[in-house]
Structure 1
């Protein structure tokens, strides 16, 4: 990854702000498994922990490590900087088995602060440089590391461990192995963001003709640039001839005097961490879930809940009850032979009162496998549309959030239908029409009885009973026929009016059921999805802020 331009002069305050930003990133990542790969989040948390630990030890001491391959002469350079034969130099390789430290302290001892720092670094071999040799290196803690290409695995492990914690890298190479793939692939490329705290020393230049040294340095610089380490200074030395060591000492002294190397190193660690995080958050901002999103999902949930069937049952129940209340009394009893559609579905009951948490179940058949499959398919479509362009792990995370409660859909829809207040109140005018129907039925009954009585009198040849008339129509006939015809007409008109009301109530029921099933869609799918998209967007914003 190509490094960005370095910020100039990071300070402890800015570093702390970046660490807080990293903590926010990791908090968002840990709140939702899958938002970041586990290994990336773990490495970022390790960087944060190391940074916190290093800052607790202060920045008045600068830890500089000499690292190199077997035979590169780093231990000789170490002794040259220390001014004493501290590190063992010999023919047998590898020579350095454990890291050792040289403490440059004008007070002439290892104080509690330095001791705590070395304890944290787990370096127990410690040498205090004589006061007269400290000079301009006061505050330096110089480490001689084992060979990074050692045949001993624990030697390489020590280099890897300390490379994570030291403030300044000084990579010591020689003319024979400066292009060694292990050095470049395992370390230099890995720490490409750490150019500001990296030095490269080309040692043993006494083995190279003077007119070839410049070309050799240029080749080293080319390889460093290929590794992503641009602007790294390359020094040439010959430790056994004490050539170039004074310049190396001045370079190290300048880093020590600034007392900013620790902060610069940790800042570079955060650059590297931010790059790793950015590689996983992608280039697309997770979009907010719009108001129109999930419309097909809501429709699919309504179909799965049988909203249309329940609405039709509401309309049918209204027509049936209207017939029972306002139908012709002679035949209205026939309507009672048909079961009430709402009672048959277990929906003829009041909605749960406020504060009630227990919701009953309906008696209707559960959603069919086809309708549930359609609802799940609509949820996946919402997931796919919302995660278009997002990194694959995030797309999987979004789908996992959307499908997390898929097994609850059927039961939640049944509860939603059971808790929906369906329009089932009887209009007051029904009672008036019902009373009118009974009045007409009574008139018809009186007329029929009167006619029957007149017929019996005539059949028995009894004296004729006077019969009042309205015009040319006898009252008994008018009451019997008029009551029946009027009752039937009222029944037809009432049925037509009730049909309009039934359609209206069916539409109201459909809207209420759609609202209830939409609430299920929001609870089980849309709200968790919206929250996840917002969290992912916030995570990406914080990662991008961490990179700046």
Structure 2
């Protein structure tokens, strides 16, 4: 008993895990995987929840067969009571008939709700009292009770309509029951055991349910002794072709009783384990996971690495015009440097030249990137193609090994913000600190020296002018001192002017070097800003979709019994 309870607990735990994984796969795959596949998986989860919510004490065994297979006769033979009418008065079963056995010594749940869920209206309870009234015919009670005080659960046997019936409603009942009963017993006959309907529409489709499937060759009494073995061997080969690995094949005769007791024992062996319902539901989960697995990648998808993200940011930087801004920063820096360090008498000319940063609306310190945009050219077809191309190359690297449905989803995720991306990039450029109004320390030093040099030149000029005026007015003044034969005022003029020119030229060279350094710094900042936008608007949506795909793959694998 303890061993059986342990097996029931293990089966229940395995089913819990399988259903949880299948539910996770449904959530992850919704909107990505085909709606039909998701609906089928959702129906399996819902059906399993309903079955588990109803009586766990009963095991439902359904008898399936074609017209003329003797299914109802075998059903009566198993029950031991003439419940299902046969022969000319009822050549085909037109509705589901239930035989319910509940031993009086066992405490089991009411089977009514379970039969309501199965939509079985025709019901008959075969109890100990019924056996007392018909002791010769009520073999079901003796078989089910065995030599003990009786099992702890109940048994429901269903005689179902013929699956090859021309009546559409009969076929619908059989297909629905094939997806609901705990144990499936397929009754075949020697004439139609190879019928394509039973093999293609049922056995092959339910090959994953071989643990709860029994195949019976009925009416063997119609075969000569030498014919039985070849027919059984042929049927066994057909079952193997259907994918049924663990075959439960019996040769029986409802007329002579041959093999009926053995078939009862086979059913009892399955029912006694008390795990038939869980095994059936778990097989449904495994089968559904197999169908979903066709849309799952073979291995876990990996996100593109840092190099690919860097390539993406570089492509977006080129499309948004980062180099245009860098050149503007360099040009603006040189103009500002000349405006401060140039020769004071001519540097005002530099201020007349248009500042490229101001033209791009990036010079103003108070610019609000949320409210204002830059004056960079609006992306045309060429720039938009560059943006889309960079995004597509990145997303394609993320979904190379993904199935088509997930490739589409990942590509769509990468292009989710396609329309907003140019504006986001423009805001990133506008919000980047460019240091447009920053001044270098050496500007002040050079400017001071320039003014000193100009002052010296002006002082020398005024000195000479004073000496000339005094001579013109015939004032007797001492002559200007000489240095190496050159008058000091003249030297002051020459030195001041020469120093100003040399400083202006040197400042221009230094300004170019400084502009190059500043351009590199600004390029890094702009690239970082663009990379941040790329991370937020491209990489993160792609990462979420890749993780969703991996979550789907993992859930499907675990639901299918793979770890």
TM-score, normalisation: structure 2: 0.89
Q: 1:282 to 1:490 in 2, by over 3 A?
A: closer
- The answer on 1:120 being equivalent to 2:110 is no
Shift of 1:320: 0.5
Q: Is the 8 A contact 2:460 2:488 kept in 1?
A: yes
Q: CA RMSD in A?
A: 2.5
- The answer on 1:145 being equivalent to 2:160 is yes
Shift of 1:115: 0.8
Deviations 1:398-439 (A, max 9, x none): 212222222222112111111111133102332232222223
1:292 counterpart SS class: helix
- The answer on 1:27 being equivalent to 2:27 is yes
Q: CA–CA distance in 2 between the matches of 1:467 and 1:72?
A: 143
1:240 counterpart SS class: coil
**Mean CA deviation greater in 437-446 or 403-412:** 437-446
Shift of 1:331: 0.4
In the alignment, which residue of structure 2 is the partner of 1:443? 456
Q: Is the 8 A contact 2:369 2:430 kept in 1?
A: no
1:414 corresponds, among 426, 429, 444, to 426
In the alignment, which residue of structure 2 is the partner of 1:262? 277
- The answer on 1:505 being equivalent to 2:518 is yes
- The answer on 1:372 being equivalent to 2:384 is yes
Q: CA–CA distance in 1 between the matches of 2:48 and 2:427?
A: 53
Q: Is the 8 A contact 1:314 1:422 kept in 2?
A: yes
Q: Is the 8 A contact 1:423 1:508 kept in 2?
A: no
2:179 corresponds, among 159, 164, 172, to 164
Deviations 1:342-373 (A, max 9, x none): 11111113488xxx983531112123422331
Q: Is the 8 A contact 1:108 1:130 kept in 2?
A: no
Q: Is the 8 A contact 2:308 2:394 kept in 1?
A: yes
1:136 corresponds, among 139, 143, 147, to 143
In the alignment, which residue of structure 1 is the partner of 2:134? none
2:222 corresponds, among 207, 215, 228, to 207
In the alignment, which residue of structure 1 is the partner of 2:103? 106
In the alignment, which residue of structure 2 is the partner of 1:59? 56
Q: How many residues align?
A: 534
1:485-496 residue pairs with structure 2 within 5 A?
A: 485-496=498-509
Q: CA–CA distance in 2 between the matches of 1:351 and 1:226?
A: 78
Deviations 1:490-513 (A, max 9, x none): 222222222211110011011111
Shift of 1:464: 5.8
- The answer on 1:248 being equivalent to 2:245 is no
In the alignment, which residue of structure 2 is the partner of 1:430? 443
In the alignment, which residue of structure 2 is the partner of 1:473? 486
In the alignment, which residue of structure 2 is the partner of 1:301? 316
2:120 counterpart SS class: coil
Q: Is the 8 A contact 2:321 2:376 kept in 1?
A: no
Q: Is the 8 A contact 1:351 1:421 kept in 2?
A: no
- The answer on 1:523 being equivalent to 2:536 is yes
Shift of 1:465: 5.0
Q: CA–CA distance in 1 between the matches of 2:404 and 2:559?
A: 22
2:244 counterpart SS class: coil
Shift of 1:452: 4.4
* Structure 2, unpaired ranges of 5+: 1-6, 132-137, 146-153
Q: 1:351 to 1:80 in 2, by over 3 A?
A: farther
Q: Is the 8 A contact 2:55 2:111 kept in 1?
A: no
2:104 counterpart SS class: coil
Q: CA–CA distance in 1 between the matches of 2:231 and 2:498?
A: 119
1:210-359 residue pairs with structure 2 within 5 A?
A: 210-350=225-365, 358=370
1:422 counterpart SS class: coil
Q: Is the 8 A contact 1:278 1:543 kept in 2?
A: yes
Q: 1:80 to 1:324 in 2, by over 3 A?
A: same
Shift of 1:91: 2.6
In the alignment, which residue of structure 2 is the partner of 1:190? 205
Shift of 1:517: 1.1
In the alignment, which residue of structure 1 is the partner of 2:495? 482
Q: 1:290 to 1:227 in 2, by over 3 A?
A: same
2:70 corresponds, among 68, 73, 76, to 73
1:314 counterpart SS class: helix
Q: CA–CA distance in 2 between the matches of 1:109 and 1:77?
A: 27
2:250 counterpart SS class: strand
Q: CA–CA distance in 1 between the matches of 2:421 and 2:91?
A: 67
**Mean CA deviation greater in 327-336 or 373-382:** 373-382
1:294 counterpart SS class: helix
Runs of 4+ in structure 1 off by over 6 angstroms are 108-111
Q: Is the 8 A contact 1:80 1:245 kept in 2?
A: yes
